[in-house]
A and B are shown apart, each in its own frame.
Chain A
Amino acid sequence: MGSGRDWTWFHRLGSPRWFYETTGRWLPLLWAVTLALLVVGLVWGLLYAPQDAKQGNSFRIIYLHVPVSFLALAGYYIMAIAGAVGLIWKMKLSYMVMKSAAPLGAALTFLALFTGAVWGKPTWGTYWVWDARITSMLILLFLYLGVLALQYAFHSQDTGNKASAMLALVGTVNIPIIYKSVDWWYTLHQPATIKLTSAPSMHPDMFKPLLVMILAMYCFYALVLILNTRVEILQRERKTGWVRDLARQADTGPDNQ
Protein backbone atom coordinates (compact mmCIF):
# COMPACT_ATOMS: atom_id res chain seq x y z
CA MET A 1 0.00 0.00 0.00
CA GLY A 2 2.85 2.33 0.81
CA SER A 3 4.11 2.28 -2.79
CA GLY A 4 3.78 5.22 -5.14
CA ARG A 5 -0.01 4.96 -5.51
CA ASP A 6 -1.33 8.37 -6.52
CA TRP A 7 -4.11 9.78 -4.29
CA THR A 8 -4.05 13.34 -5.61
CA TRP A 9 -7.32 12.83 -7.57
CA PHE A 10 -9.01 12.01 -4.27
CA HIS A 11 -7.69 15.17 -2.63
CA ARG A 12 -8.83 17.31 -5.56
CA LEU A 13 -12.32 15.83 -5.05
CA GLY A 14 -12.21 17.25 -1.55
CA SER A 15 -12.00 20.87 -2.66
CA PRO A 16 -15.02 22.84 -1.43
CA ARG A 17 -14.79 25.21 -4.38
CA TRP A 18 -14.79 22.34 -6.89
CA PHE A 19 -17.83 20.82 -5.12
CA TYR A 20 -19.68 24.15 -5.06
CA GLU A 21 -19.13 24.84 -8.75
CA THR A 22 -19.86 21.29 -9.96
CA THR A 23 -23.05 20.78 -7.94
CA GLY A 24 -24.23 24.23 -9.05
CA ARG A 25 -24.41 22.86 -12.59
CA TRP A 26 -26.31 19.71 -11.50
CA LEU A 27 -28.91 21.39 -9.33
CA PRO A 28 -31.54 22.35 -11.96
CA LEU A 29 -31.65 18.77 -13.32
CA LEU A 30 -31.78 17.27 -9.81
CA TRP A 31 -34.64 19.62 -8.83
CA ALA A 32 -36.62 18.62 -11.94
CA VAL A 33 -36.12 14.86 -11.45
CA THR A 34 -36.95 15.03 -7.72
CA LEU A 35 -40.15 17.05 -8.18
CA ALA A 36 -41.32 14.86 -11.08
CA LEU A 37 -40.76 11.63 -9.13
CA LEU A 38 -42.42 13.03 -6.00
CA VAL A 39 -45.52 14.19 -7.90
CA VAL A 40 -45.84 10.89 -9.84
CA GLY A 41 -45.26 8.77 -6.72
CA LEU A 42 -47.65 10.69 -4.48
CA VAL A 43 -50.51 10.95 -6.99
CA TRP A 44 -50.13 7.31 -8.00
CA GLY A 45 -49.82 6.03 -4.44
CA LEU A 46 -52.43 8.21 -2.76
CA LEU A 47 -55.08 8.33 -5.50
CA TYR A 48 -54.70 5.40 -7.89
CA ALA A 49 -53.20 2.49 -5.94
CA PRO A 50 -55.88 0.07 -4.65
CA GLN A 51 -56.71 0.19 -0.95
CA ASP A 52 -55.71 -2.62 1.39
CA ALA A 53 -58.21 -5.39 2.15
CA LYS A 54 -57.77 -5.14 5.95
CA GLN A 55 -56.54 -1.60 6.61
CA GLY A 56 -58.50 0.30 3.98
CA ASN A 57 -57.01 3.65 3.06
CA SER A 58 -54.89 4.05 6.20
CA PHE A 59 -52.21 1.80 4.66
CA ARG A 60 -51.39 4.63 2.21
CA ILE A 61 -49.11 6.22 4.80
CA ILE A 62 -46.64 3.50 3.69
CA TYR A 63 -45.86 5.72 0.68
CA LEU A 64 -44.27 8.22 3.06
CA HIS A 65 -43.30 6.05 6.03
CA VAL A 66 -41.17 3.46 4.20
CA PRO A 67 -39.22 5.90 1.94
CA VAL A 68 -38.34 8.28 4.81
CA SER A 69 -37.32 5.34 7.01
CA PHE A 70 -35.07 3.98 4.23
CA LEU A 71 -33.27 7.31 3.94
CA ALA A 72 -33.09 7.81 7.71
CA LEU A 73 -31.01 4.61 7.83
CA ALA A 74 -29.03 5.01 4.58
CA GLY A 75 -28.33 8.66 5.42
CA TYR A 76 -26.68 7.63 8.66
CA TYR A 77 -24.08 5.62 6.74
CA ILE A 78 -23.46 8.64 4.48
CA MET A 79 -22.90 10.81 7.57
CA ALA A 80 -20.63 8.22 9.27
CA ILE A 81 -18.57 7.55 6.14
CA ALA A 82 -18.15 11.30 5.60
CA GLY A 83 -16.95 11.53 9.21
CA ALA A 84 -14.48 8.66 8.69
CA VAL A 85 -13.06 10.24 5.53
CA GLY A 86 -12.68 13.49 7.48
CA LEU A 87 -10.81 11.74 10.30
CA ILE A 88 -8.50 9.80 8.00
CA TRP A 89 -7.76 12.29 5.22
CA LYS A 90 -8.42 15.52 7.18
CA MET A 91 -10.70 16.60 4.37
CA LYS A 92 -12.65 19.81 5.13
CA LEU A 93 -15.40 19.13 2.60
CA SER A 94 -16.05 15.72 4.12
CA TYR A 95 -16.82 17.26 7.54
CA MET A 96 -19.15 19.75 5.87
CA VAL A 97 -21.09 16.88 4.27
CA MET A 98 -21.23 15.13 7.65
CA LYS A 99 -22.63 18.20 9.37
CA SER A 100 -25.17 18.77 6.58
CA ALA A 101 -26.41 15.16 6.82
CA ALA A 102 -27.18 15.40 10.56
CA PRO A 103 -30.26 17.71 10.60
CA LEU A 104 -31.58 16.08 7.42
CA GLY A 105 -31.31 12.61 8.96
CA ALA A 106 -32.89 13.82 12.19
CA ALA A 107 -35.86 15.27 10.27
CA LEU A 108 -36.36 12.03 8.29
CA THR A 109 -36.13 9.90 11.45
CA PHE A 110 -38.67 12.12 13.18
CA LEU A 111 -40.99 11.80 10.16
CA ALA A 112 -40.61 8.00 10.23
CA LEU A 113 -41.56 7.93 13.93
CA PHE A 114 -44.41 10.41 13.45
CA THR A 115 -46.00 8.68 10.44
CA GLY A 116 -45.61 5.37 12.27
CA ALA A 117 -47.47 6.76 15.30
CA VAL A 118 -50.28 8.17 13.15
CA TRP A 119 -50.68 4.77 11.47
CA GLY A 120 -50.25 2.80 14.71
CA LYS A 121 -53.23 4.36 16.46
CA PRO A 122 -55.96 2.98 14.13
CA THR A 123 -54.08 -0.21 13.23
CA TRP A 124 -52.51 -1.42 16.46
CA GLY A 125 -54.63 0.58 18.88
CA THR A 126 -51.76 2.71 20.25
CA TYR A 127 -49.51 5.58 19.12
CA TRP A 128 -46.41 4.20 20.77
CA VAL A 129 -45.02 0.94 22.13
CA TRP A 130 -41.53 0.37 23.46
CA ASP A 131 -40.75 -2.44 21.07
CA ALA A 132 -37.27 -3.03 19.64
CA ARG A 133 -37.91 -1.43 16.24
CA ILE A 134 -39.46 1.77 17.56
CA THR A 135 -37.02 2.20 20.46
CA SER A 136 -33.97 1.71 18.21
CA MET A 137 -35.39 4.31 15.79
CA LEU A 138 -35.72 6.73 18.73
CA ILE A 139 -32.03 6.09 19.56
CA LEU A 140 -31.21 6.90 15.92
CA LEU A 141 -32.95 10.27 16.32
CA PHE A 142 -30.85 11.01 19.43
CA LEU A 143 -27.65 9.98 17.59
CA TYR A 144 -28.39 12.43 14.77
CA LEU A 145 -29.15 15.20 17.30
CA GLY A 146 -25.98 14.29 19.23
CA VAL A 147 -23.77 14.58 16.13
CA LEU A 148 -25.35 17.98 15.42
CA ALA A 149 -25.00 19.16 19.03
CA LEU A 150 -21.29 18.22 19.18
CA GLN A 151 -20.68 20.52 16.21
CA TYR A 152 -21.61 23.46 18.43
CA ALA A 153 -20.11 22.15 21.67
CA PHE A 154 -16.51 23.28 21.09
CA HIS A 155 -14.80 26.59 20.39
CA SER A 156 -12.66 25.00 17.72
CA GLN A 157 -14.37 23.73 14.59
CA ASP A 158 -11.71 21.03 14.25
CA THR A 159 -12.42 19.54 17.70
CA GLY A 160 -16.15 19.61 17.01
CA ASN A 161 -15.63 17.83 13.69
CA LYS A 162 -13.59 15.06 15.29
CA ALA A 163 -16.02 14.56 18.17
CA SER A 164 -19.02 14.45 15.79
CA ALA A 165 -17.27 11.95 13.52
CA MET A 166 -16.42 9.67 16.46
CA LEU A 167 -20.04 9.64 17.67
CA ALA A 168 -21.30 9.06 14.12
CA LEU A 169 -18.95 6.09 13.72
CA VAL A 170 -19.83 4.49 17.07
CA GLY A 171 -23.53 4.96 16.25
CA THR A 172 -23.29 2.85 13.08
CA VAL A 173 -23.79 -0.15 15.40
CA ASN A 174 -27.43 0.88 15.66
CA ILE A 175 -28.25 0.61 11.94
CA PRO A 176 -28.14 -3.20 11.55
CA ILE A 177 -29.93 -3.44 14.91
CA ILE A 178 -32.81 -1.31 13.60
CA TYR A 179 -32.89 -3.26 10.34
CA LYS A 180 -32.92 -6.73 11.96
CA SER A 181 -34.87 -5.81 15.14
CA VAL A 182 -38.15 -7.16 13.72
CA ASP A 183 -36.51 -10.56 13.21
CA TRP A 184 -34.37 -10.75 16.35
CA TRP A 185 -36.99 -9.76 18.92
CA TYR A 186 -40.73 -10.17 19.24
CA THR A 187 -41.88 -6.74 18.09
CA LEU A 188 -45.32 -5.28 17.48
CA HIS A 189 -43.89 -3.81 14.28
CA GLN A 190 -44.34 -6.27 11.39
CA PRO A 191 -41.32 -7.73 9.56
CA ALA A 192 -40.06 -6.13 6.33
CA THR A 193 -42.40 -6.15 3.32
CA ILE A 194 -39.58 -5.39 0.88
CA LYS A 195 -36.79 -7.95 1.10
CA LEU A 196 -33.53 -8.21 -0.80
CA THR A 197 -33.73 -11.96 -1.21
CA SER A 198 -37.36 -12.57 -2.22
CA ALA A 199 -40.34 -10.92 -3.90
CA PRO A 200 -42.15 -8.23 -1.86
CA SER A 201 -45.20 -9.46 0.08
CA MET A 202 -47.28 -6.76 -1.51
CA HIS A 203 -49.51 -6.66 -4.57
CA PRO A 204 -47.63 -5.21 -7.65
CA ASP A 205 -50.28 -2.47 -8.09
CA MET A 206 -49.41 -1.20 -4.60
CA PHE A 207 -45.69 -1.90 -4.86
CA LYS A 208 -44.89 0.03 -8.05
CA PRO A 209 -45.85 3.47 -6.67
CA LEU A 210 -43.88 2.62 -3.51
CA LEU A 211 -40.78 2.00 -5.63
CA VAL A 212 -41.27 5.39 -7.32
CA MET A 213 -41.58 7.05 -3.91
CA ILE A 214 -38.39 5.35 -2.64
CA LEU A 215 -36.52 6.56 -5.73
CA ALA A 216 -38.03 10.05 -5.26
CA MET A 217 -36.86 10.09 -1.64
CA TYR A 218 -33.30 9.15 -2.64
CA CYS A 219 -33.27 12.09 -5.10
CA PHE A 220 -34.82 14.37 -2.48
CA TYR A 221 -32.13 13.33 0.00
CA ALA A 222 -29.34 14.01 -2.50
CA LEU A 223 -30.85 17.38 -3.36
CA VAL A 224 -31.24 18.57 0.24
CA LEU A 225 -27.82 17.22 1.25
CA ILE A 226 -26.18 19.15 -1.61
CA LEU A 227 -28.11 22.34 -0.79
CA ASN A 228 -27.19 22.05 2.92
CA THR A 229 -23.53 21.39 2.08
CA ARG A 230 -23.39 24.42 -0.26
CA VAL A 231 -24.60 26.68 2.55
CA GLU A 232 -22.06 25.11 4.91
CA ILE A 233 -19.26 25.70 2.34
CA LEU A 234 -20.14 29.38 1.97
CA GLN A 235 -20.24 29.79 5.74
CA ARG A 236 -16.96 28.04 6.55
CA GLU A 237 -15.06 29.38 3.51
CA ARG A 238 -16.35 32.93 3.84
CA LYS A 239 -12.84 34.33 4.26
CA THR A 240 -11.51 32.80 1.02
CA GLY A 241 -11.10 34.77 -2.17
CA TRP A 242 -13.55 32.85 -4.32
CA VAL A 243 -16.43 33.15 -1.82
CA ARG A 244 -15.73 36.90 -1.48
CA ASP A 245 -15.84 37.17 -5.26
CA LEU A 246 -19.18 35.33 -5.31
CA ALA A 247 -20.59 37.68 -2.68
CA ARG A 248 -19.33 40.74 -4.59
CA GLN A 249 -20.97 39.47 -7.79
CA ALA A 250 -24.26 38.92 -5.94
CA ASP A 251 -24.08 42.49 -4.56
CA THR A 252 -23.48 44.16 -7.90
CA GLY A 253 -26.40 42.32 -9.47
CA PRO A 254 -27.00 39.14 -11.46
CA ASP A 255 -24.19 38.15 -13.70
CA ASN A 256 -25.08 35.58 -16.32
CA GLN A 257 -22.22 33.21 -16.61
Chain B
Amino acid sequence: MINKNLIIYLSILIFGLIAPFIFPAFKVQLSILCVLIILAMTWNIQGGEMGYNSFGNILFYGLGMYLCASVQVGMFFPLAEWTESGGEKTFVHTPAQFFQGFGVGLAVAAVVPAIVAGLIGYSILGLRGHYFAICTLGLGVAAGEISGGIEIIGAGQGFTTPPFPNFGGLEARGEFFYFCSFISLVLTFIVVKSIYSTRFKLVLNAIRDNEDKAEAMGIQTMKYKIIGWMISAFFCGLAGGIMGGLVGYIDSTDVAFDGREMGVFMVLMAILGGKGTLWGPVIGASVFHIFKEGFWTFFLGWQYVALGVLIVVIVIYFPEGIMGWLREKYPERFGEVVDEADRKAQVELK
Protein backbone atom coordinates (compact mmCIF):
# COMPACT_ATOMS: atom_id res chain seq x y z
CA MET B 1 0.00 0.00 0.00
CA ILE B 2 1.31 3.40 -0.92
CA ASN B 3 1.66 5.88 1.90
CA LYS B 4 -1.50 8.00 2.06
CA ASN B 5 0.32 11.09 3.31
CA LEU B 6 2.79 10.90 0.44
CA ILE B 7 -0.05 11.12 -2.07
CA ILE B 8 -1.49 14.17 -0.33
CA TYR B 9 1.86 15.95 -0.22
CA LEU B 10 2.67 15.09 -3.83
CA SER B 11 -0.69 16.26 -5.11
CA ILE B 12 -0.38 19.57 -3.22
CA LEU B 13 3.14 20.00 -4.61
CA ILE B 14 2.04 19.30 -8.17
CA PHE B 15 -0.95 21.58 -7.80
CA GLY B 16 1.34 24.30 -6.48
CA LEU B 17 3.71 23.91 -9.41
CA ILE B 18 1.07 24.11 -12.12
CA ALA B 19 -1.32 26.53 -10.38
CA PRO B 20 0.01 29.75 -11.98
CA PHE B 21 -0.50 28.23 -15.41
CA ILE B 22 -4.04 27.01 -14.72
CA PHE B 23 -5.15 30.23 -13.03
CA PRO B 24 -3.00 32.92 -14.65
CA ALA B 25 -5.28 35.66 -13.35
CA PHE B 26 -4.65 34.68 -9.71
CA LYS B 27 -0.84 34.58 -9.80
CA VAL B 28 -0.42 37.52 -7.45
CA GLN B 29 -3.14 36.29 -5.10
CA LEU B 30 -1.55 32.85 -4.94
CA SER B 31 1.86 34.39 -4.17
CA ILE B 32 0.32 36.45 -1.37
CA LEU B 33 -1.37 33.31 -0.06
CA CYS B 34 2.01 31.54 0.07
CA VAL B 35 3.49 34.47 2.02
CA LEU B 36 0.53 34.49 4.41
CA ILE B 37 0.90 30.76 5.06
CA ILE B 38 4.62 31.23 5.79
CA LEU B 39 3.79 34.02 8.26
CA ALA B 40 1.07 32.01 9.98
CA MET B 41 3.24 28.90 10.27
CA THR B 42 6.18 30.79 11.70
CA TRP B 43 3.98 32.73 14.12
CA ASN B 44 2.65 29.38 15.24
CA ILE B 45 6.15 28.19 16.21
CA GLN B 46 6.43 30.66 19.06
CA GLY B 47 2.79 31.68 19.42
CA GLY B 48 1.15 28.29 19.32
CA GLU B 49 3.84 25.83 20.33
CA MET B 50 5.87 27.95 22.72
CA GLY B 51 2.98 29.95 24.16
CA TYR B 52 4.69 33.30 23.58
CA ASN B 53 1.99 35.28 21.82
CA SER B 54 3.83 37.92 19.87
CA PHE B 55 2.32 40.90 18.11
CA GLY B 56 5.78 41.94 17.02
CA ASN B 57 6.78 39.43 14.35
CA ILE B 58 5.84 42.20 11.95
CA LEU B 59 9.20 43.69 13.02
CA PHE B 60 11.09 40.90 11.25
CA TYR B 61 8.76 40.97 8.27
CA GLY B 62 9.27 44.70 7.73
CA LEU B 63 12.98 44.47 8.43
CA GLY B 64 13.32 41.76 5.80
CA MET B 65 11.35 43.83 3.33
CA TYR B 66 13.53 46.92 3.73
CA LEU B 67 16.76 44.91 3.82
CA CYS B 68 16.00 42.94 0.66
CA ALA B 69 15.12 46.04 -1.34
CA SER B 70 18.05 48.07 0.06
CA VAL B 71 20.56 45.36 -0.73
CA GLN B 72 19.15 44.86 -4.19
CA VAL B 73 19.53 48.55 -4.96
CA GLY B 74 22.61 49.26 -2.88
CA MET B 75 24.72 46.52 -4.48
CA PHE B 76 24.79 48.38 -7.81
CA PHE B 77 23.65 51.96 -7.30
CA PRO B 78 23.91 54.61 -4.57
CA LEU B 79 20.94 53.96 -2.27
CA ALA B 80 20.39 57.55 -1.17
CA GLU B 81 20.03 58.83 -4.73
CA TRP B 82 17.66 56.01 -5.61
CA THR B 83 15.24 56.79 -2.78
CA GLU B 84 15.59 60.53 -3.29
CA SER B 85 14.46 60.27 -6.88
CA GLY B 86 11.45 58.30 -5.66
CA GLY B 87 12.28 55.29 -7.83
CA GLU B 88 12.49 57.33 -11.00
CA LYS B 89 14.06 55.44 -13.84
CA THR B 90 17.47 57.08 -13.43
CA PHE B 91 19.04 53.70 -12.70
CA VAL B 92 17.97 50.53 -14.46
CA HIS B 93 18.94 47.06 -13.28
CA THR B 94 20.05 44.66 -15.99
CA PRO B 95 18.42 41.21 -15.62
CA ALA B 96 21.63 39.72 -14.22
CA GLN B 97 21.94 42.52 -11.69
CA PHE B 98 18.28 42.19 -10.72
CA PHE B 99 18.41 38.46 -10.00
CA GLN B 100 21.80 38.60 -8.34
CA GLY B 101 20.68 41.48 -6.14
CA PHE B 102 17.38 39.81 -5.29
CA GLY B 103 19.08 36.56 -4.32
CA VAL B 104 21.62 38.23 -2.08
CA GLY B 105 18.89 40.51 -0.74
CA LEU B 106 16.70 37.56 0.24
CA ALA B 107 19.61 35.88 2.01
CA VAL B 108 20.32 39.06 3.97
CA ALA B 109 16.60 39.58 4.60
CA ALA B 110 16.37 36.15 6.20
CA VAL B 111 19.62 36.07 8.16
CA VAL B 112 19.66 39.58 9.65
CA PRO B 113 16.19 39.38 11.29
CA ALA B 114 17.17 36.03 12.78
CA ILE B 115 20.30 37.65 14.26
CA VAL B 116 18.22 40.57 15.52
CA ALA B 117 15.80 38.13 17.15
CA GLY B 118 18.74 36.40 18.79
CA LEU B 119 20.12 39.69 20.09
CA ILE B 120 16.92 41.10 21.51
CA GLY B 121 15.56 37.68 22.45
CA TYR B 122 17.44 37.41 25.72
CA SER B 123 15.95 40.67 26.97
CA ILE B 124 12.43 40.34 25.68
CA LEU B 125 11.73 36.63 26.07
CA GLY B 126 12.26 37.05 29.79
CA LEU B 127 8.86 38.71 29.87
CA ARG B 128 5.85 36.46 30.07
CA GLY B 129 2.24 36.38 29.01
CA HIS B 130 0.61 39.70 28.31
CA TYR B 131 3.77 41.68 29.11
CA PHE B 132 5.48 39.89 26.25
CA ALA B 133 2.48 40.53 23.97
CA ILE B 134 2.36 44.26 24.71
CA CYS B 135 6.15 44.65 24.61
CA THR B 136 6.31 43.11 21.15
CA LEU B 137 3.35 45.22 20.05
CA GLY B 138 5.32 48.29 21.13
CA LEU B 139 8.41 47.01 19.34
CA GLY B 140 6.53 46.59 16.06
CA VAL B 141 4.92 50.03 16.19
CA ALA B 142 8.18 51.69 17.25
CA ALA B 143 9.99 50.09 14.32
CA GLY B 144 7.38 51.47 11.94
CA GLU B 145 7.48 54.97 13.42
CA ILE B 146 11.27 55.10 13.48
CA SER B 147 11.78 53.73 9.98
CA GLY B 148 9.34 56.38 8.78
CA GLY B 149 11.86 59.01 9.90
CA ILE B 150 15.01 57.59 8.30
CA GLU B 151 15.93 59.43 5.12
CA ILE B 152 18.10 56.84 3.36
CA ILE B 153 15.28 54.30 3.04
CA GLY B 154 12.79 56.83 1.80
CA ALA B 155 11.35 58.14 5.10
CA GLY B 156 7.72 59.15 4.65
CA GLN B 157 7.58 59.06 0.87
CA GLY B 158 8.34 55.36 0.57
CA PHE B 159 10.81 53.21 -1.28
CA THR B 160 10.20 51.84 -4.77
CA THR B 161 11.77 48.45 -5.31
CA PRO B 162 13.59 47.81 -8.60
CA PRO B 163 11.16 47.04 -11.42
CA PHE B 164 11.25 43.55 -12.87
CA PRO B 165 13.62 43.41 -15.86
CA ASN B 166 12.05 42.87 -19.21
CA PHE B 167 13.73 40.39 -21.53
CA GLY B 168 12.47 40.75 -25.05
CA GLY B 169 8.82 41.35 -24.28
CA LEU B 170 8.52 38.25 -22.08
CA GLU B 171 6.41 39.09 -19.04
CA ALA B 172 7.44 36.71 -16.30
CA ARG B 173 7.12 38.89 -13.20
CA GLY B 174 4.11 37.07 -11.75
CA GLU B 175 5.61 33.63 -12.34
CA PHE B 176 8.95 34.63 -10.87
CA PHE B 177 7.52 35.93 -7.62
CA TYR B 178 5.03 33.08 -7.42
CA PHE B 179 7.78 30.49 -7.61
CA CYS B 180 9.92 32.44 -5.16
CA SER B 181 7.14 32.42 -2.60
CA PHE B 182 6.06 28.86 -3.35
CA ILE B 183 9.59 27.50 -2.97
CA SER B 184 9.98 29.41 0.28
CA LEU B 185 6.68 27.97 1.46
CA VAL B 186 7.78 24.41 0.68
CA LEU B 187 11.08 25.07 2.43
CA THR B 188 9.29 26.49 5.47
CA PHE B 189 6.88 23.58 5.58
CA ILE B 190 9.69 21.03 5.44
CA VAL B 191 11.65 22.80 8.16
CA VAL B 192 8.62 23.25 10.42
CA LYS B 193 7.46 19.67 9.92
CA SER B 194 10.88 18.29 10.70
CA ILE B 195 11.08 20.50 13.79
CA TYR B 196 7.72 19.20 14.95
CA SER B 197 8.97 15.61 14.95
CA THR B 198 11.94 16.32 17.22
CA ARG B 199 12.52 16.79 20.92
CA PHE B 200 12.73 20.53 20.26
CA LYS B 201 8.97 20.73 19.77
CA LEU B 202 8.37 18.84 23.00
CA VAL B 203 10.56 21.33 24.83
CA LEU B 204 8.59 24.22 23.32
CA ASN B 205 5.35 22.59 24.41
CA ALA B 206 6.74 22.09 27.89
CA ILE B 207 7.56 25.81 28.03
CA ARG B 208 4.02 26.63 26.94
CA ASP B 209 2.39 24.34 29.46
CA ASN B 210 4.46 25.31 32.48
CA GLU B 211 7.69 27.17 32.13
CA ASP B 212 8.71 26.94 35.77
CA LYS B 213 8.33 23.19 35.80
CA ALA B 214 10.21 22.89 32.51
CA GLU B 215 13.04 24.83 34.07
CA ALA B 216 12.93 22.65 37.15
CA MET B 217 13.29 19.60 34.91
CA GLY B 218 16.66 20.95 33.83
CA ILE B 219 15.71 22.45 30.47
CA GLN B 220 17.53 25.65 29.59
CA THR B 221 14.31 27.34 28.60
CA MET B 222 15.89 30.62 27.54
CA LYS B 223 18.08 28.90 24.96
CA TYR B 224 15.13 27.10 23.41
CA LYS B 225 12.95 30.21 23.45
CA ILE B 226 15.59 32.22 21.63
CA ILE B 227 16.15 29.50 19.03
CA GLY B 228 12.41 29.22 18.48
CA TRP B 229 12.08 32.96 17.98
CA MET B 230 15.09 33.00 15.65
CA ILE B 231 13.57 30.34 13.41
CA SER B 232 10.38 32.34 13.35
CA ALA B 233 12.26 35.55 12.50
CA PHE B 234 14.27 33.87 9.75
CA PHE B 235 11.20 32.88 7.75
CA CYS B 236 9.34 36.10 8.56
CA GLY B 237 12.23 38.07 7.07
CA LEU B 238 12.29 35.83 4.01
CA ALA B 239 8.54 36.31 3.49
CA GLY B 240 8.96 40.06 3.93
CA GLY B 241 11.70 40.22 1.30
CA ILE B 242 9.55 38.40 -1.25
CA MET B 243 6.50 40.49 -0.43
CA GLY B 244 8.53 43.70 -0.91
CA GLY B 245 9.49 42.66 -4.41
CA LEU B 246 5.93 41.55 -5.14
CA VAL B 247 4.26 44.76 -4.00
CA GLY B 248 6.95 46.91 -5.63
CA TYR B 249 6.59 49.76 -3.16
CA ILE B 250 7.59 49.92 0.49
CA ASP B 251 6.08 52.35 2.93
CA SER B 252 7.06 52.34 6.60
CA THR B 253 3.67 52.10 8.29
CA ASP B 254 1.36 50.95 5.49
CA VAL B 255 3.34 48.14 3.89
CA ALA B 256 6.38 47.12 5.90
CA PHE B 257 5.54 47.54 9.58
CA ASP B 258 1.81 47.29 9.07
CA GLY B 259 0.82 46.16 12.54
CA ARG B 260 -2.81 46.92 11.85
CA GLU B 261 -2.93 44.57 8.89
CA MET B 262 -0.22 41.97 8.48
CA GLY B 263 0.76 41.97 12.15
CA VAL B 264 -2.76 41.02 13.19
CA PHE B 265 -3.36 38.77 10.22
CA MET B 266 -0.64 36.34 11.18
CA VAL B 267 -2.02 35.97 14.69
CA LEU B 268 -5.56 35.67 13.44
CA MET B 269 -4.76 33.12 10.76
CA ALA B 270 -2.96 30.87 13.20
CA ILE B 271 -5.82 31.10 15.70
CA LEU B 272 -8.46 30.58 13.02
CA GLY B 273 -6.74 27.44 11.81
CA GLY B 274 -5.88 26.16 15.24
CA LYS B 275 -2.91 27.10 17.39
CA GLY B 276 -0.24 24.52 17.98
CA THR B 277 -0.94 22.24 15.02
CA LEU B 278 1.04 21.70 11.83
CA TRP B 279 -1.84 22.06 9.39
CA GLY B 280 -3.85 24.62 11.34
CA PRO B 281 -2.03 27.73 10.10
CA VAL B 282 -2.07 26.45 6.53
CA ILE B 283 -5.83 25.91 6.59
CA GLY B 284 -6.41 29.10 8.57
CA ALA B 285 -4.39 31.22 6.16
CA SER B 286 -6.16 29.76 3.12
CA VAL B 287 -9.64 30.28 4.57
CA PHE B 288 -8.74 33.73 5.81
CA HIS B 289 -7.25 34.79 2.49
CA ILE B 290 -10.32 33.70 0.52
CA PHE B 291 -12.62 35.44 3.01
CA LYS B 292 -10.47 38.55 3.03
CA GLU B 293 -10.26 38.86 -0.74
CA GLY B 294 -14.01 38.49 -1.01
CA PHE B 295 -14.56 41.16 1.58
CA TRP B 296 -11.88 43.48 0.27
CA THR B 297 -13.42 43.39 -3.20
CA PHE B 298 -17.12 43.53 -2.44
CA PHE B 299 -17.13 45.71 0.65
CA LEU B 300 -14.41 48.14 -0.25
CA GLY B 301 -13.94 50.63 2.55
CA TRP B 302 -15.60 48.41 5.15
CA GLN B 303 -12.77 45.92 5.27
CA TYR B 304 -11.37 47.03 8.62
CA VAL B 305 -14.81 47.03 10.17
CA ALA B 306 -15.19 43.46 8.97
CA LEU B 307 -11.71 42.66 10.23
CA GLY B 308 -12.47 44.02 13.70
CA VAL B 309 -15.73 42.07 13.92
CA LEU B 310 -13.98 38.97 12.62
CA ILE B 311 -11.26 39.18 15.26
CA VAL B 312 -13.79 39.55 18.06
CA VAL B 313 -15.97 36.71 16.78
CA ILE B 314 -13.07 34.31 16.21
CA VAL B 315 -11.49 35.06 19.55
CA ILE B 316 -14.69 34.73 21.56
CA TYR B 317 -16.53 31.93 19.84
CA PHE B 318 -13.81 30.04 18.03
CA PRO B 319 -10.59 30.15 20.08
CA GLU B 320 -9.71 26.52 19.30
CA GLY B 321 -9.78 27.12 15.56
CA ILE B 322 -10.74 24.84 12.71
CA MET B 323 -8.33 22.07 13.70
CA GLY B 324 -9.58 22.14 17.29
CA TRP B 325 -13.15 21.85 16.08
CA LEU B 326 -12.27 18.94 13.78
CA ARG B 327 -10.43 17.27 16.60
CA GLU B 328 -13.45 17.46 18.84
CA LYS B 329 -15.70 16.16 16.10
CA TYR B 330 -13.53 13.36 14.74
CA PRO B 331 -11.04 12.43 17.47
CA GLU B 332 -10.30 9.09 15.76
CA ARG B 333 -8.72 10.84 12.79
CA PHE B 334 -6.18 12.46 15.07
CA GLY B 335 -5.03 9.16 16.48
CA GLU B 336 -6.88 9.50 19.74
CA VAL B 337 -8.32 6.33 21.12
CA VAL B 338 -11.91 6.89 22.12
CA ASP B 339 -13.64 4.68 24.59
CA GLU B 340 -17.31 4.89 23.66
CA ALA B 341 -18.62 4.00 27.11
CA ASP B 342 -16.32 6.54 28.73
CA ARG B 343 -17.41 9.22 26.30
CA LYS B 344 -21.08 8.49 26.90
CA ALA B 345 -20.55 8.70 30.63
CA GLN B 346 -18.93 12.11 30.18
CA VAL B 347 -21.81 13.36 28.09
CA GLU B 348 -24.28 12.21 30.71
CA LEU B 349 -22.27 13.93 33.41
CA LYS B 350 -22.53 17.19 31.53
| Chains A and B belong together in one complex | no
